[in-house]
């Protein structure tokens, strides 16, 4: 059996939704190492702002433009292009500190220019998704957000200049309380300020939604210069992790030729090897990719993420049995990383071996308890349940899968089946009922939106035809 890169369940930089167009591919990227880093780096800022870090959800969006925004409450969406544009971790943290204020300072956000973007959906999908996250527990409701985003991305949130200035100063204060120099925020904003002279179509979304001007930057400089951490460089450990994250993203998102140019073979650093792993992976140069992962593991034998990517390469190359001990090692080193556990569970399920199938069930159950929005874990758990004859649990897991994947109509169908299979009032029955109610509401909202969108499109086409057809004026 050969598992292809396209169809494999990637726990390493996992694409959770398909792009809505080839020209503007956007999706949620999930990766255990990346998510751990984002919270490790940003949680001190959330604490400085008086927020509970566990209540702030961070999502990495596959989009090369420079942007970050807050939507639906305590949800921060970060474009991959922003990370790739930052020179060091302090520049990235400067943006995160700024965005943190939009949550902590209670700023209201409004949508701008959404109607002019072909194929966009309402910002309401983000709000509904955030509400569903709370209703479903954990990240289970993320699917509703992704359902809206699978139709479109690229919503731009506009703030008043007053709110932006407040976010600058509050962000500088959060950085100081977290022990982070504020020069990174200034450096990044200076980098973006020059874009204000561009035509709007050439500007990055962050420039359009966060208007920058010299006065704001000078005001920010005054606040930063008084910090006791002024002039200090970034934390070495955190910056190394950020450098690896950038390399990982570059290798995953860019064409192999570009990656190998930016990270030549002469560079033996961990970040360069990381980038080349993905470049060779994309180029289907399996042996070269494995050689780089082995070099990484030799550098850091207890790094779970290095074992994870090696297991993934073996799995996607059809060497499933070889991948199992590698994934087991990764899970042993990082027992609280549900995405890594999902990769192990999927490899077990793919063997269709009775013993491994039974062994995969508790692993995947634990993964879904930690990460309820992991549709791939639910998919494999449902398959394992069905394999051992636990049909009722399979129906509920399938309902969870479609719910988290943003397919409310299918979620409704399987939730109804689960409710019929379980005794009324049991925890499983109640969970199926919750999925049913939330998914029915989401399906109706999506149906109404799609109908309105079709009507607007038909009206636009009619108006264009009427204008261009000379017979329509006779």
Q: Given a cut of 80, is residue 31 above it in pLDDT? A: yes
Query: Do 31-117+154-236 and 255-438 show the same overall fold?
Result: no
Q: What pLDDT is recorded for position 470?
A: 53
Q: What pLDDT is recorded for position 252?
A: 94
Q: Please, what sign has the CA dihedral across residues 292, 296, 297, 303? A: negative
The values of phi and psi at residue 112, to 5°, are -135, 135
Domain map of the chain by residue range?
A: 31-117+154-236, 255-438
| Number of neighbouring beta carbons within 10 Å of residue 99 | 22
Q: Given a cut of 80, is residue 124 above it in pLDDT? A: no
**What radius of gyration, in Å, describes the C-alpha atoms of the chain?**
24
Bridging pattern class, strands 156-158 and 57-61 = unpaired
Burial of 78 from C-beta contacts in 10 A (0-12 / 13-18 / 19+): buried
| Domain made up of 31-117+154-236: CATH architecture | 2-Layer Sandwich (3.30)
Crossing angle for the helix pair 89-104 and 161-177, to the nearest 10 degrees: 120
Is the separation of the CB atoms in 408 and 402 below 8 Å? yes
Q: What pLDDT is recorded for position 237?
A: 96
Q: What pLDDT is recorded for position 303?
A: 97
Q: What pLDDT is recorded for position 462?
A: 73
DSSP 3-state assignment of 138? Answer: coil
Rounded Cα–Cα distance for residues 256 and 284 (Å): 10
Q: For tokens 């990460």, name the residue.
A: 371
Rounded Cα–Cα distance for residues 229 and 97 (Å): 15
Q: Given pLDDT bands bounded at 50, 70 and 90, which one contains residue 42?
A: very high
> 194 vs 204, 224, 385, CA distance in Å?
11, 21, 56
Q: Given pLDDT bands bounded at 50, 70 and 90, which one contains residue 416?
A: very high
Rounded Cα–Cα distance for residues 65 and 316 (Å): 30
Q: Given pLDDT bands bounded at 50, 70 and 90, which one contains residue 66?
A: confident
Q: What pLDDT is recorded for position 209?
A: 55
Which range among 256-265, 432-441, 446-455 shows the weakest confidence by mean pLDDT? 446-455
Q: Given a cut of 60, is residue 128 above it in pLDDT? A: no
Average pLDDT over residues 272-279: 97
Rounded Cα–Cα distance for residues 347 and 320 (Å): 6
Q: What pLDDT is recorded for position 72?
A: 74
Domain range 255-438, its CATH number among 1.10.1520.10, 3.30.1010.10, 3.40.1640.10, 1.25.40.10: 1.25.40.10
pTM of the model: 0.79
Q: What pLDDT is recorded for position 251?
A: 96
Q: Given pLDDT bands bounded at 50, 70 and 90, which one contains residue 170?
A: very high
């Amino acid at each position: 059996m050969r598992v292809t890169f396209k169809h494999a369940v990637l726990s390493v930089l996992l694409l959770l939704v398909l792009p809505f167009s080839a020209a503007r591919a956007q999706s949620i990227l999930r990766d255990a190492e990346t998510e751990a880093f984002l919270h490790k780096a940003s949680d001190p800022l959330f604490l400085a702002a008086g927020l509970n870090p566990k209540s702030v959800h961070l999502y990495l969006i596959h989009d090369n433009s420079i942007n970050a925004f807050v939507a639906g409450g305590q949800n921060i969406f970060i474009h991959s292009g922003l990370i790739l544009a930052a020179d060091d971790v302090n520049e990235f943290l400067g943006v995160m500190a700024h965005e943190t204020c939009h949550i902590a300072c209670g700023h209201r956000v409004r949508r701008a220019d959404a109607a002019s973007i072909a194929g966009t959906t309402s910002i309401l999908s983000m709000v509904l998704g955030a509400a569903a996250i709370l209703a479903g527990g954990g990240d289970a409701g993320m699917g509703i957000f992704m359902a809206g985003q699978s139709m479109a991305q690229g919503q731009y949130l506009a703030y008043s200049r007053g709110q932006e200035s407040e976010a600058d100063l509050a962000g500088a204060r959060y950085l100081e309380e977290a022990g982070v120099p504020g020069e990174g925020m200034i450096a990044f904003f200076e980098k973006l300020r020059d874009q204000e002279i561009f035509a709007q179509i050439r500007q990055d979304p962050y420039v359009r939604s966060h208007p920058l001007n010299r006065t704001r930057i000078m005001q920010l400089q005054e606040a930063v210069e008084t910090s006791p951490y002024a002039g200090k460089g970034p934390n070495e450990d955190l910056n190394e992790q950020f450098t690896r994250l950038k390399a990982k993203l570059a290798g995953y998102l860019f064409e192999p030729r570009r990656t190998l140019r930016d990270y030549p073979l002469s560079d033996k650093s961990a970040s360069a090897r990381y980038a080349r792993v993905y470049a060779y992976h994309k180029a289907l140069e399996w042996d070269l990719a494995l050689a780089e992962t082995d070099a990484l593991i030799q550098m850091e034998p207890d790094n779970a993420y290095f074992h994870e990517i090696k297991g993934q390469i073996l799995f996607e190359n059809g060497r499933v049995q070889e991948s199992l001990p590698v994934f087991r090692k990764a899970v042993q080193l990082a027992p609280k990383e549900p995405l890594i556990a999902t990769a192990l569970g999927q490899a077990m399920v793919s063997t269709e071996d009775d013993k491994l199938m039974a062994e995969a069930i508790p692993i995947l159950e634990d993964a879904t308890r930690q990460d309820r929005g992991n549709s791939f874990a639910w998919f494999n758990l449902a398959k394992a349940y069905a394999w051992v004859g636990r049909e009722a649990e399979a129906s509920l897991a399938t309902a969870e899968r479609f719910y988290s994947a943003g397919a409310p109509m299918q979620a409704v169908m399987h939730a109804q089946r689960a409710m019929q299979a379980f005794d009324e009032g049991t925890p499983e029955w109640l969970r199926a009922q919750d999925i049913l109610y939330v998914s029915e509401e989401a399906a109706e909202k999506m149906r109404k939106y799609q109908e309105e969108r079709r009507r607007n499109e038909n009206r636009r086409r009619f108006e264009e035809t009427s204008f261009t057809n000379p017979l329509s004026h006779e």
